[in-house]
Structure formats: C-alpha cells, structure tokens
Amino acid sequence: MSSLGKLVGRGLAVAGIGAAGVVGYGVYSPVYANDEVLHPPAYAWEHIGPFQKFDARAIRRGYEVYKNVCSSCHSMKFLHYRNLVGVAFTEDEAKILAADTEVEDGPNDEGEMFTRPGRLSDKFPDPYANEEAARYANNGALPPDLSCVVKAREAKEDYIFALLTGYRDPPDGVVVREGLHYNPYFTGGGIAMARALYDGGVDYDDGTPATTSQMAKDVSVFLTWASNPEHDVKKQWGSHMLMTLAVFTPFIIWFKRFRFSPYKYKRLVFRDQW
C-alpha cells in the first residue's frame, strides 16, 4: 500500500466530492414557473474570465452615456471625479469633466453659500435636491442611485443590459397600469422608467456608432466598474496568489511528510504484561 498512492487517492476523492457539489448547485438551482419576471440570459461580457480586465474604452463610453442620458434622473452619489482618473480618463480630462458642473460650496467670509466649478474631489452631481423632489418629478417613483446598482441586483450586469434593451409591447392580455411601461425583466412587468436608449442618442468621442445595444452595453460596463472598482486589481493579485500557491504546495506537502517520516514508520507495541 504505497503511502503516496493513498495520498493521491484521498486528494482525488475530495476533489470529486467538491466537483459534484459545484455541478449540483449549478444544474439544480430552481426556476419557478410563477416567477413574475423573465431571467436575463448570460451575456458574453469582455471582463468575464480569470484573466480579463474591464474594457477601459467601454467604461469611457459608458460614462458618456450616463452623463448624457441617465444623469438627468439617476444620481451616483458615491462616485467622485477622482475615481475616473487612471481608469477611463487622465487627470486633466477628469478635471475638465468636473469643471463642467456647478457645485454649491461655502459659507464664504461673508457667511453666504456660493457656487463654484467642480473639482476632482467632488462627487457626481445629484439631479434632485432630495428624495421628495425626485419622486415628484418621476410620478412618485424614486430613480435609484446607480453607484452600487450592479452589485445590488441578483443577475448583475446581465440584468442591467437586458432591462435597458428589453422594452417592448406587452403580450396580449397583459395590462400595465397607467404610468408604468412594460418590461419583462422587471419584477411584475411594469417599470416606472420609460425607455431611455434609442439609436443615435449619444455622440461617442471615438466615433463608435451609438446603437441601443451599444449604449446599453457600454453603460452596463461603466456601472459594473462603478460597483466593483477593485475588479481588475483583485483578479490580477488572485493570479499571483494562485501561482505562488502552485509553486509552494508540492514542496510543503513533501516537507511535512519528510518531517513526519520518523513518526510514520515508528510502531508502538504494547506487551501483554504489567
């Protein structure tokens, strides 16, 4: 009975049980027929995969979509202009973007509040002064803050893309109440937000044709970055960590067995006498 054989055998058994658990979880998670929502498909994002970073060009285009289309109703209160530096814009470009906005600051020496152009340290501007103003302007519905929206939805960026491109006429017999719009990917079918993305809605700086799906894809990647800014660094450090483990693990296993070998070959015999 080779001890190395025993070790390999035990390792394979553990791996087999683990694999069965993963497959079971993936294949057998339930989808109920009375779910009032259509589950979005899994799209082939460019940042999926163990060695994939975000596409910085998509983040930049997505920021343009957010700025021109979404920011009139949706805030992103947890993002600052400095967060964009080194990700999609250089420092000077981010300063230009910030300077386009007006920020209330103060009080000054006379005790008055004043407005000044934005700086890198300022947050993204809030379209409404408070929640009541937001609800009043949107038929009682509050447009959610988008800083962490991708993390906050179960289907993550697939949901955002499907929702934005999913507006269609309701099927026969489905009635959506006045003020709501039909979207099968929104629970219940009726969403307060009207369709926002139409072909040609945005003029991209790099000349990409702005179709609905292109804009939806770019803004989804931008929002995914906003929710997970650590994504690229985390994955890359993960690679370093796994590589180091792969190098050290066989040595550690061998070294432990080397140190324990005297005790493994020792045999204690109890004699039948006092």
- Count the residues of the shown chain that bind another protein, applying the rule CB under 8 A: 28
Nearer CB in complex with another protein: 36/100: 100
Please, which contacts does 139-143 make with residues 24 or more away whose CB atoms are closer than 8 Å? 139/179, 139/192, 140/192, 141/192, 141/193, 143/73, 143/74, 143/75, 143/193
Nearer CB in complex with another protein: 49/179: 49
Q: Give the residue from 38, 42, 4, 9 showing the smallest Cα distance to 168.
A: 38
Nearer CB in complex with another protein: 53/151: 53
Report whether 231 belongs to an annotated binding site: no
Find residue 80's DSSP bridge partners. Answer: 123
Q: Considering only residues 102, 105, 199, 205, which one is a binding residue for another protein as defined by CB under 8 A?
A: 205
Q: Minimal distance in Å, beta carbon 208 to another protein?
A: 9
Residues in region 214-243 near another protein by CB under 8 A: 236, 239-240, 243
Contact present, 159 and 153 (Cβ < 8 Å): yes
Nearer CB in complex with another protein: 55/158: 55
Cα 129–132–137 angle (5° rounding)? 85
- Specify whether the backbone of 267 is left (phi greater than 0), alpha (psi in -120 to 50) or beta: beta
Nearer CB in complex with another protein: 36/203: 203
Q: Minimal distance in Å, beta carbon 264 to another protein?
A: 23
Residue 66 is classified by DSSP as I
Q: Considering only residues 28, 32, 51, 263, which one is a binding residue for another protein as defined by CB under 8 A?
A: 51
Strands 114-117 and 102-105 come out as antiparallel
Contact present, 185 and 162 (Cβ < 8 Å): yes
Nearer CB in complex with another protein: 92/169: 92
Q: Minimal distance in Å, beta carbon 63 to another protein?
A: 11
Q: Considering only residues 52, 108, 139, 261, which one is a binding residue for another protein as defined by CB under 8 A?
A: 52
In this structure, which amino acid lies at residue 92? D
Cα 137–76–63 angle (5° rounding)? 105
**Cα 51 vs. chain centroid, distance in angstroms?**
16
Report whether 70 belongs to an annotated binding site: yes
Q: Minimal distance in Å, beta carbon 269 to another protein?
A: 35
Q: Which two tokens stand for residue 187?
A: 């629970």
Please, which contacts does 99-105 make with residues 24 or more away whose CB atoms are closer than 8 Å? 101/125
Q: Which two tokens stand for residue 139?
A: 């038929």
Residues in region 53-112 near another protein by CB under 8 A: 53-57, 60, 86-90, 92-93, 96-97, 99-100
Q: Minimal distance in Å, beta carbon 87 to another protein?
A: 6
Q: Which two tokens stand for residue 253?
A: 């296993």
**Residue set of the binding site for heme c:** 70, 73-74, 193
Interface with another protein by CB under 8 A: which residues?
Answer: 46, 51-57, 60, 86-90, 92-93, 96-97, 99-100, 205-206, 236, 239-240, 243-244, 247
**Residue set of the binding site:** 70, 73-74, 193
